[in-house]
Structure 1
Amino acid sequence: MAQPKFFLQPLAAAISVACYSGLVFADTQQITTQLAPIVVTAQLANDANGLIIHADPKQPIQPIPATDGADYLQSIPGFNAIKNGGTNADVTFRGMFGSRIKILTDGSESLGACPARMDAPTSYIQPESYDQISVIKGPQTVQYANTGSAATVIFERKKPELNAAKPYQGQASVLIGSFGRLDHNLEATVGDEKKYIRLNANRSESSSYKDGDGNTVPSAWERWNTDLALGWTPNNDTWLELTGGKSDGEALYAGRDMDGSQFARESLGLRFEKKNLTEVIKKVEGQVNYSYNDHVMDNFRLRTPPMTHDMMTHQMVSNPSEMQVTRRTLNSRLAMTSEWNKIDLVTGIDSQQNHHAGSMKSMMMDMPLSTNMKFQSYGAFGELSYQFSENSKLVTGARLDQVKIDALKLNDNRKETLPSAFIRLENQHPEHDLKTYIGLGYIERVPDYWELFSTAHGNTGMAKPTFNDLNNEKTLQLDMGYQQQHGAFNSWVSAYAGLINDYILMSYHNHPMAGMGGHDHGSSFSAGAKNVDATIAGAEAGIGYQLSDAIQADISAAYAWGKNTTDQKALPQIAPLEGRFNLRYVQDKYTLGMLWRVVAKQDRISLNQGNIVGYDMGESKGFATLALNASYNIMKDIDVAVGIDNVLDKTYTEHLNKAGSSGFGFASNEQFNNTGRNYWARVSMKF
């Protein structure tokens, strides 16, 4: 794969000994930054009394710092991921998957193209190039198009603050680790009070890792990203920014019969923000964003292609094949924030148009790239906050989306009107150092591209099309929680319970395969989609204690539960109960840390049911892993850290791992193992 080399290798050799880092462990009133590598067991900085979580992706996490968006999100309680190999996992939250989780970058959505989600939206995100990650739990916002029912996740870059005294800012880091891991990251901004130019560039690579038994798991990858921004700030109330970016990568997948040999991204965006227009209109903001994702998967560039029987020569011959898929997405948004008396109101309109195209090449076919799906949505929203007393606030909102999906090859289309709304009460109890929230949200979700186009049938059981054979998914969810800080002790809980009508469930079984000319060519074990009703519930919770001036400890747990009430079965592909214990020793110049992660077995399964990426293959075993870390402040703005993940070199498999590909010698339904003992080191400097 051709890729730019942003940093000279001597630089890597010179400074590859670990990291700038810090744990943000706080409530909204007080944020303390410490040197220890981020180990997210405590509640992070937050809003809405703990409903909205904020994380700093420039601070590394353990296990080894993240390769993509899904990697980072797994460090936040409630998030897990379906793993393919070493990178590009597909994130889940509270057992929910896919378009139920809205992934945004700077308020805009960039969608993957692979019909099996080999290139999930998080695959195109390099977290360290962003300034903040915000997670809004549940259907508790309406400000973004086609809002996710499980969560809305926003990766965002903030406006830089420059002046004549310091007309530049940035940071750089280099990381080395076991199994050939090498990362370079650079962010540099130059300008003054009225203009700036910002460059974000990074490159990451790794060889295939070994599991705890010393067996190599196919999982190598290379990736690079560059993003450039030109900003204009003629005064404190005006901000105009033009952005552009490119990236590419390749990934070897233990859990798939094809690898990702191209993850090309091109993006272009323009946004503006104008504050304090009148005493009432505090802000008007707008943006237009275009992205083009061009993904290639094949079975011959990164692995040996399979053999097949040639009917002409009656010999076994190599059978290479590849598929190219693309997604062009255009997003636009215009919003206005108004304030008067005790009321804050955000109103706006937004739209999205995206086109999907695909092609296939093999010994049997040569299909050219052609557009097969067009999607367009238009929405309007309003979100209001009312501070009706000093310690109490009411937040509510509603939106309406008009969606049209054209299936070009089926010569069919689907039009939907989707309502969503929520109401939430936030309270503070100063006498008890306590904050609480409770909210009720409702959202309707149209079946997404993968549910409509990557499945063999819908509710009727008939072969294609499933296009108008699946109902919209409807979620009504109650979210509640609290956080309390009292002296050296703190605790927090975020809980939820929901009813989902027409939940879209994937069931895997053998389906006929149509070959050239529509003739039957056997069968494949693939997904059919159907609607069922479901009930979900669960919580994330944590407690922390400052044992002394130097010693801190905290523990967290996350549990998700779901039931298919139509068939009286468990909902599939839900990660089991997980707990994390974090112990830190913090001094002015150095820290020592320990993370103990304990995962229970998962015996609530639904055999051969799941989502478009994975399905339940059986009950999973519990496991525990231990990780150690240390950091040292060499001098002002230069920090170094080292870490050991899976210290005891345990052999284990996550419940949500995919089964290994038979092309690598894995047996049917045999899941590949996760990484064994892993050493890493990272250095970072700010300037």
Structure 2
Amino acid sequence: MLNSKFFIQRLTVAISFALYSNYTLAETASDTPYHLVPIVLTAQQGNESHGLVVIKDPKQPVQPIPAIDGASYLQSIMGFNAVKSSGMANSDVTFRGMFGSRIKMLINGSENLGACGGRMDSPTSYISPESFDKIIVVKGPQTVRFANPGSAATVMFERGPVHLPEGKNMEGQVSTVVGSFGRWDHNLDLAIGDSTKYLRVNANRSISNNYKDGNGKSVHSNWEKWNTDLAAGWTPNDNTWIEATAGRADGEVAYAGRGMDGTKFGRESLGLRIQKKNINRFIQKIDAQVNYNFNDHVMDNYRMRPITGMKMLSNVARETLNSRLELTTIWTDSLSIVTGVDSQHNTHTSRGGLKYTSLPRQKNMTFESYGAFSEATYDITAHQKLVSGIRFDAVQVQDFRSRTKIFNQTRNSVLPSGFLRLESEYPELNAKTYIGIGHVQRMPDYWEIFSPMMLDTTGSKDVFNGVKTEKTTQIDVGYQYKHGALSHWASAYVGQVNDFILMRYAPNRSVNNVDAQIAGGELGLGYAVTDHLQFDVSGMYAWGENTTNDRALPQIAPFEARINLNYVTDKYSLGALWRLVAPQYRYSKNEGNVVGYDLGESRGFGILSLNGTYQMTTDLNLALGIDNVLNRSYSEHLNKLGAASAGNIGTEQINNIGRNYWLRLQMKF
């Protein structure tokens, strides 16, 4: 296990101090405002911008058990699924059936990429959701503000500036989670300073033992992870924000679906951000930032599992340097434009052997991109606006592997992206709508050109040059309605993907470009039966067709619905969640993505979970839950196959956790 006693002791002391301090203040300060009781989040809520954008508060409790990483949290938002690899931790997220770099994953406007060739350390595995202020999801190719834009979605984990009120020099919150199978989390978000400057600390630690599925079988899935981030900020006035950041993290995770475990998830990060607003009548905001991330990942087959055969170890790392400059200008009362430039440079290295620390890192790839973009918003009328954007990315990828010397080792591309969207409001109908069309061209990422052994169609070993750029054109539509006790919304899409990058696992691990069509959407309906009783239902469906070979696209989750019932008062809430997942009959055997592939059909299932919250004092609340109340044995369609060396059959999918009890205590101060 990690040598983290020093960190644990001090985090425990900080939480204990904050809990005691808050209790004293809550009891003595009679003018403290009362907070409404939180509701455990179980389905998509909080749609903004006509349903196109989803905004979440990650500090609220969620069910199933509060999230360990970015992927586990995103699964509470309709449209998201994840490829299960180790049970609850370090899954790899999908959105509308799309995977990997088709989803742009950002942390405070910057990208932190994993290093493992099999995405054992996916980008979301380095994210602790509760340490962020909000999560924003933009569906589809409907923004061009970030480098190499995602065709499926753009996901932003955001922290904002701290504004301590006059006379208050400290604020924040702490929480702890206790659950079945040895689950124990600590989270601390603490800011100290005054009205113009602050020091913010975000720290967390999570541990868990192996869990048991509904059949009582132990699943190789234990973990220990920690993150610590520091931010020093200066806000001399309402229009200026300067912040420097630094962070470190590490962890280890047992993988039921792989032949090795992740025994190191090192992260080091540095950043600087400068933001200036309301400069003059023309320039509304200038936002500049530079971020450095270093991910150091080790996988082996002997530290966290019984040794079977020869010991193996691999160490991979990636350095990523991101920079961006964004300018928001107001041209007329009806027209505003966001323009900017950005760049990314990342280098991938590897080394192996039991004495790897004494060996030099071998560079095998560099990726460079330089982009320019412009995104405009034009108010046609008081209730209708047009939003459009265009960007160009100049991308160069270099292959430094010695075995590829016979091939061209450099790829250069200029990739255009753009979108056009109409947003409308109908006050008399209490409704909002949007319709947009977007186009994205995507360079194959590290996993798509370095992991496969050959091109599927020709058998060529020159995968680096043979995989074509992927091109997606997609129409997105949606609406939302709210009046009185009734609300409902829907988002839908249909797209054409030329040169879709497809992985094949048999007879060899190969890659191919095919043409594809995609469609689907998400919907929800809510109704307040009484002032205290609330009901909502939501659903999502994704469909994909490989039109080149006339068969289904692989690794797409089946239809899913969630039925949620809440009883809410000023002091407590009670809730029930019924998650219903249909069978998946559409599959493409032995095809998939870099993490998983389709084995065949999957069975449907229904899982009932219960939750409750209690507002103990003004700023102290308790949430508890029972996940999978009926202790069902079930597995997800998206699932890394169990590895025989971990005690599973090689063709067996990982079962989800059985009945699971958890309790979460949160304190604000």
TM-score of the superposition, structure 2-length normalised? 0.94
State the alpha-carbon separation in 2 of the partners of residues 89 and 306 from structure 1: 25
SS in 2 for 1:432: coil
**Contact 1:459–1:469, Cα closer than 8 Å, also in 2:** no
Report what 2:170 is aligned to. Answer: 168
Residue 152 (structure 2) pairs with residue 155 (structure 1): no
After superposition, residues 60-139 of structure 1 pair within 5 angstroms as 60-85=61-86, 86-139=88-141
Of 618, 639, 664, the residue aligned with 2:600 is 618
TM-aligned CA distance change 1:253 to 1:15, over 3 Å: farther
How big is each residue's C-alpha offset from its partner over 1:518-558, in whole Å with a ceiling of 9 and x where there is no partner? Answer: xxxxxxxxx21100000000010010100001100000000
Residue 406 (structure 2) pairs with residue 422 (structure 1): no
State the alpha-carbon separation in 1 of the partners of residues 235 and 189 from structure 2: 20
Report what 2:531 is aligned to. Answer: 549
User: 182-191 or 1-10, which moves further after superposition?
Assistant: 1-10
SS in 2 for 1:99: helix
Deviation at 1:14, TM superposition (A): 12
Of 577, 601, 612, the residue aligned with 2:583 is 601
Tell me which amino acid in the other structure corresponds to 1:538. G
Report what 1:389 is aligned to. Answer: 381
Deviation at 1:34, TM superposition (A): 4.8
Q: How many matched pairs? A: 643
Report what 1:509 is aligned to. Answer: 506
- Consecutive unaligned residues of structure 2, counting only runs of 5 or more, are 20-34
SS in 1 for 2:291: strand
**Contact 2:67–2:73, Cα closer than 8 Å, also in 1:** yes
Deviation at 1:37, TM superposition (A): 1.2
Report what 1:585 is aligned to. Answer: 567
Report what 2:258 is aligned to. Answer: 256
State the alpha-carbon separation in 2 of the partners of residues 663 and 130 from structure 1: 37
Report what 2:317 is aligned to. Answer: 326
Of 15, 36, 41, the residue aligned with 2:39 is 36
Deviation at 1:2, TM superposition (A): 1.6
Deviation at 1:657, TM superposition (A): 1.4
SS in 1 for 2:101: helix
State the alpha-carbon separation in 2 of the partners of residues 460 and 62 from structure 1: 44
State the alpha-carbon separation in 2 of the partners of residues 486 and 252 from structure 1: 48
State the alpha-carbon separation in 2 of the partners of residues 322 and 60 from structure 1: 37
**Contact 1:7–1:184, Cα closer than 8 Å, also in 2:** no
Tell me which amino acid in the other structure corresponds to 2:297. H
TM-aligned CA distance change 1:388 to 1:125, over 3 Å: same
Residue 427 (structure 2) pairs with residue 445 (structure 1): no
State the alpha-carbon separation in 2 of the partners of residues 204 and 54 from structure 1: 25
**Contact 1:321–1:363, Cα closer than 8 Å, also in 2:** no
State the alpha-carbon separation in 1 of the partners of residues 550 and 613 from structure 2: 50
**Contact 2:75–2:81, Cα closer than 8 Å, also in 1:** yes
State the alpha-carbon separation in 2 of the partners of residues 35 and 146 from structure 1: 37
**Contact 2:607–2:628, Cα closer than 8 Å, also in 1:** yes
Report what 1:519 is aligned to. Answer: none
Of 567, 576, 586, the residue aligned with 2:549 is 567
**Contact 1:383–1:396, Cα closer than 8 Å, also in 2:** yes
Residue 232 (structure 2) pairs with residue 230 (structure 1): yes
Deviation at 1:50, TM superposition (A): 1.0
Residue 589 (structure 2) pairs with residue 627 (structure 1): no
- Consecutive unaligned residues of structure 1, counting only runs of 5 or more, are 17-31, 308-318, 512-526
SS in 1 for 2:428: helix
TM-aligned CA distance change 1:251 to 1:324, over 3 Å: same
State the alpha-carbon separation in 2 of the partners of residues 536 and 33 from structure 1: 41
How big is each residue's C-alpha offset from its partner over 1:232-260, in whole Å with a ceiling of 9 and x where there is no partner? Answer: 11221111100000000000010000000
State the alpha-carbon separation in 2 of the partners of residues 678 and 306 from structure 1: 31
Of 455, 460, 465, the residue aligned with 1:458 is 455
Of 345, 349, 353, the residue aligned with 1:353 is 345
**Contact 2:37–2:613, Cα closer than 8 Å, also in 1:** no
Tell me which amino acid in the other structure corresponds to 1:302. M
**Contact 1:95–1:561, Cα closer than 8 Å, also in 2:** yes
State the alpha-carbon separation in 1 of the partners of residues 360 and 220 from structure 2: 30
Deviation at 1:11, TM superposition (A): 9.1
How big is each residue's C-alpha offset from its partner over 1:476-524, in whole Å with a ceiling of 9 and x where there is no partner? Answer: 000000000021111000000000000000011134xxxxxxxxxxxxx
**Contact 1:541–1:558, Cα closer than 8 Å, also in 2:** yes
Deviation at 1:341, TM superposition (A): 1.9
Provide the alpha-carbon RMSD of the alignment: 1.8
State the alpha-carbon separation in 2 of the partners of residues 598 and 347 from structure 1: 44
**Contact 2:84–2:654, Cα closer than 8 Å, also in 1:** no
Tell me which amino acid in the other structure corresponds to 1:437. Y
SS in 2 for 1:467: helix
Deviation at 1:39, TM superposition (A): 1.5
**Contact 1:660–1:670, Cα closer than 8 Å, also in 2:** yes
Report what 2:26 is aligned to. Answer: none
Report what 1:517 is aligned to. Answer: none
After superposition, residues 148-547 of structure 1 pair within 5 angstroms as 148-307=150-309, 319-339=310-330, 340-361=332-353, 368-409=360-401, 410-411=404-405, 412-458=409-455, 460-511=457-508, 527-547=509-529
Tell me which amino acid in the other structure corresponds to 1:473. E
Tell me which amino acid in the other structure corresponds to 1:76. I
Deviation at 1:9, TM superposition (A): 6.1
**Contact 1:460–1:469, Cα closer than 8 Å, also in 2:** no
State the alpha-carbon separation in 1 of the partners of residues 14 and 573 from structure 2: 25
Deviation at 1:367, TM superposition (A): 7.5
Tell me which amino acid in the other structure corresponds to 1:415. N
State the alpha-carbon separation in 2 of the partners of residues 214 and 491 from structure 1: 40
**Contact 1:360–1:368, Cα closer than 8 Å, also in 2:** no
Deviation at 1:45, TM superposition (A): 4.0
